[in-house]
Amino acid sequence: MPKLKVAAPAKINLTLEVLNKRDDGFYNIKSIMQAISLYDYLTVEIEEAAKTEIVLSGNSNQIPYDEKNLVYKACIKFFETTKIKNIKTTIYIEKNIPIEAGLAGGSTDAAATFFALNELLNKPLNKPQLELLCASLGSDLNFCLNGGTATCSGRGEHTKKIKTTNQYVSLIKPLGFGISAKEAYTKFSQMKEKSVPNYTEKMEESFNEKYLFNSLEKAVINDHEELLEIKTKLPASMMSGSGPTFFVFEKEISEKFDNKRFQIIENLKFIEDGIKIV
């Protein structure tokens, strides 16, 4: 039975400037996304069967292994798009990226699923078709597929690779809760002051920590004392995506926080690739 293991990297948002609301309910954004050396690993196996069947399992008790999972939805969308039938797909998800953390854990797993199925089934989709498939399922999948450093626009699905900077990064996430994109954008919609400083364009021209920016950080930070604590202890830190994970360009930060209240992932690096075979 054909089998493939792929690495799916997390992302952080060096900038996230939320712009106007679109007719489809999403917001247009300008963002610089960066892939980092924190990976989920998907082992994907296919075999011929009497009908299309999808079996998910994994090492995490925090995610569903049914039709609610983006990996499951990615399988369905792939087979609908390619019109390939009668395949049993078995996927084991080794989850290392925290969930509902602003790190694109679900999106990168879904992009990895598209990539792996396309490889295992002799590439029925070319790269532009694969990009369209990613865009149809979520806002971050296109970036996750390609990785590296990229300027992202639209609702995030339009990506343009830019030069990657060598940088160490550490993550800190409060334990006990996550923040969904829907929650963060709802909070943002209630804000009176929504202006952006155009730091995305400046960061694109020259990497500089002073251009770090996240519109959604302002929307949610006052709702959780843990987020305020992170910002107080690490003033140079910035929230990634819809949060609640913050990142900072330091190798080690664990001595500053209680590991019973915060999850710390240290000594990560910026990487140049996206989904890849391991």
* pTM across the whole model: 0.96
Q: pLDDT tens-digit profile of 169-216? A: 999 999 998 998 899 999 999 999 999 999 999 999 999 999 999 999
Decide if pLDDT at 165 tops 90: no
Domain ranges (residues) in the chain: 1-278
Decide if pLDDT at 239 tops 80: yes
Asked if residues 42 and 93 have their Cβ atoms less than 8 Å apart, the reply is yes
User: What is the distance between the alpha carbons of residues 161 and 158, in angstroms, rounded to a whole number?
Assistant: 10
Kindly state the average pLDDT of the residues 241-255. Answer: 95
Nearest to 18 by CA among 194, 161, 249: 194
Marked catalytic residue, from 11, 77, 95, 173: 11
Torsion of CA 104, 259, 222, 98, to 10 degrees: 10
Those residues with Cβ within 8 angstroms of residue 224's Cβ, 6 or more apart along the chain or in another chain: 174, 177, 244
Establish whether 11 is a catalytic residue.
yes
Asked if residues 40 and 107 have their Cβ atoms less than 8 Å apart, the reply is no
User: What is the distance between the alpha carbons of residues 248 and 209, in angstroms, rounded to a whole number?
Assistant: 10
Helix (H/G/I), strand (E/B), else coil: 71? helix
> What is the predicted pLDDT for the residue at 139?
92
User: What is the distance between the alpha carbons of residues 248 and 12, in angstroms, rounded to a whole number?
Assistant: 11
Asked if residues 91 and 112 have their Cβ atoms less than 8 Å apart, the reply is no
CATH architecture entry for 1-278: 2-Layer Sandwich (3.30)
Kindly state the average pLDDT of the residues 42-52. Answer: 97
User: What is the distance between the alpha carbons of residues 214 and 222, in angstroms, rounded to a whole number?
Assistant: 14
Q: With bands split at pLDDT 50, 70 and 90, how would you rate the model's confidence at 62?
A: very high
> What is the predicted pLDDT for the residue at 90?
98
User: What is the distance between the alpha carbons of residues 218 and 237, in angstroms, rounded to a whole number?
Assistant: 13
Decide if pLDDT at 1 tops 80: no
Kindly state the average pLDDT of the residues 92-119. Answer: 97
Q: With bands split at pLDDT 50, 70 and 90, how would you rate the model's confidence at 221?
A: very high
Establish whether 256 is a catalytic residue.
no
Tokens 């770090």 -> residue = 212
> What is the predicted pLDDT for the residue at 164?
80
Helix (H/G/I), strand (E/B), else coil: 215? helix
Helices (H), the chain: 70-82, 105-120, 127-137, 141-146, 181-189, 199-205, 215-220, 225-233
Residue type, 139: S
Marked catalytic residue, from 40, 140, 173, 187: 140
